[in-house]
Amino acid sequence: MDNFSPARTYAQSLDQADPLAAFRARFSHPQPSLRYMDGNSLGKLPLKTIDVLEQAVRDQWGGELIRGWNQGWWEAPQRIGDKIGQLVGAAPGQVALCDSTSVNLFKLANTALMLRPGRKKIISDTLNFPSDLYILQGAIHTLQKGHSLHLVGSQDEDLTPDLQSLYEAIDEDTALVTLSHVVFKSGYLYDMAEITRRAHQKGALVLWDLSHSAGVFPVELDACEADLAIGCTYKYLNGGPGAPAFLYVNNRLQQQAVSPIWGWAGQDKPFNFALEYTPTPGIRRFVAGTPHVLSSLAVESGVEISLEAGMPAIREKSIRMTEYFIRLGEALLTEYQFRVGSPREAHLRGGHVSLRHPEGYRINRALIDDMEVIPDFREPDNIRFGFAPLYTSYEEIWETVERLRIVMEEKRFTRYSQAKATVT
């Protein structure tokens, strides 16, 4: 980006040189003037998914009825899990598509604690998605084994974690270290290999939440010797609202790892209807109940587009887009007191960028209600801009910053109330 210019024509030249530009046409854009900067919260609809779901409803459900279970429905969690595995660096047989991210975290956190009996400490950080911390608190409460949750803080207002404190906290009493690979507010990106290595040195397991990295960063679970992971499919994987999530258990743990939810879909021979539970070998034991067929097929359709584009190209464009956004903000928004709430170094940053401003909430409202720009707001002052390499164009980023400049110049945010809406 050496020849950077704040002109619109520069954005157009980046689009012309973009090797992923053609993928934009594979998604639904019913409102052409909308600048959607929230693909990190809910990805856009792939056009192919409309046909996939229509066919699944009409022909598979409508036509096959119960026979559908023998035509790919029953194996969907593993088949689609393996496709997700290709995006997150996991060899086949280690990823399953099932349940929600929250439920999968509960399952795998329990599994980890069972694999490290006697150890009482769970480590996470204050940058983590609060729901992840609730789930850990709930697991401790349910187990009643005297576990405690140790949260590592931040010394720069939640931009980055205090790594030194994290390394010092991991000790011989630590059962589990669990972190969001890319943190949801600032977009800080953990060094998965390094954290995993440090945890293993002390005999602890690591559970990664990939919700904000799967589909935008080339995660390498196997190469990092990761133990456990979970992640979301409705963000950068474009699986649709409420789509089932995924979980990863490394092969070397699968023999001893048991889910805390002993359901029949993870039973060894489910159709024998035996009265005693025997976990089936492999990742399938973590699938508790009947697979979510329709929504899983939508996930498969979204994941296939990312596979086709390839993670290296996706990451390269992601870095260029976040870099471009930061540079453009510095050029066009200097007088409005924004602070970049994300790491400047590309290797420490995921796929979104936060701009912080004391009036963040109302600025975000003005962008959505007045300017046809959709970012989102995260307390206390973060406006998050998510860039989806498969369908966000550089010219859209240019227009987003330009419309933000207009909101500030004309003080349009002052027309909005400070009272918060339910979903921000």
Ligand X SMILES: *Cc1c(COP(=O)(O)O)cnc(C)c1O
Q: Give the active site residues.
A: 129, 209, 234-235, 384
Is residue 184 close enough to count as binding ligand X by CB under 6 A? yes
How far does CA 205 lie from the centroid of its chain? 21
Binding mask of the shown chain, residues 311 to 340, with x at each position contacting ligand X by CB under 6 A: ------------------------------
Contact stretch for ligand X (CB under 6 A) within 42-50, 207-215, 221-229, 348-356: 207-215
Q: Which two tokens stand for residue 275?
A: 């009265």
Instruction: Tell me which of 185, 212, 378, 384 binds ligand X, using CB under 6 A.
Output: 212
- Cβ proximity to ligand X, 234 vs 324, nearer residue: 234
Q: Which of 132, 227, 381, 399 binds ligand X (CB under 6 A)?
A: 132
Given 55, 86, 100, 165, the residue binding ligand X (CB under 6 A): 100
Please check whether residue 387 is in contact with residue 322, taking contact to mean a CB–CB distance below 8 angstroms.
yes
Is 399 among the residues that bind ligand X (CB under 6 A)? no
Size of the site for ligand X (CB under 6 A): 12
Using the rule CB under 6 A, is 232 a contact of ligand X? Answer: yes
The answer to the question of residue 131 lying near ligand X (CB under 6 A) is yes
CB burial of residue 372 (10 Å; 0-12, 13-18, 19+): middle
**Residue 144 in contact with residue 173, Cβ under 8 Å?**
no
**What gap in Å lies between CA 109 and CA 105, rounded to an integer?**
6
d(CA 65, CA 114): 40
By CB under 6 A, residue 211 contacts ligand X: yes
CB 227 within 8 A of CB 205: yes
- C-beta of 179 vs 309, nearer to ligand X: 179
Site for ligand X contains 101 (CB under 6 A): yes
Residue 232 beta carbon to ligand X: minimum distance, rounded to whole angstroms: 5
How far apart are alpha carbons 174 and 302 in whole angstroms? 37
Among 18, 82, 125, 209, indicate the residue that binds ligand X (CB under 6 A).
Answer: 209
158 is a site residue for ligand X (CB under 6 A) = no
Q: 13 or 102: whose CB is closer to ligand X?
A: 102
Residues 6+ apart with CB under 8 A from 190: 161, 179, 180, 181, 182, 183
> Does 129 engage in binding with ligand X (CB under 6 A)?
yes
Q: Which stretch binds ligand X (CB under 6 A): 31-39, 124-132, 259-267, 377-385?
A: 124-132
- Nearest-CA neighbor of 388 among 353, 351, 424, 355? 351
Residue with Cβ nearer ligand X (212 or 315): 212
178 binds ligand X (CB under 6 A): no
Binding part of the chain for ligand X, among 127-135, 149-157, 166-174, 346-354 by CB under 6 A, reads 127-135
Choose the stretch contacting ligand X; rule: CB under 6 A; options: 31-39, 128-136, 327-335, 388-396: 128-136
- Does the footprint of ligand X cover residue 238 (CB under 6 A)? no
How many Cβ atoms from other residues are within 10 Å of residue 258's Cβ? Answer: 18
* Closer residue to ligand X (CB): 101 or 322: 101
What residues between 14 and 73 interact with ligand X by CB under 6 A?
none
Q: Where does this chain touch ligand X (CB under 6 A) — which range of 24-32, 71-79, 204-212, 302-310?
A: 204-212
> Which spans of this chain sit near ligand X (rule: CB under 6 A)?
100-102, 129, 131-132, 180, 184, 209, 211-212, 232
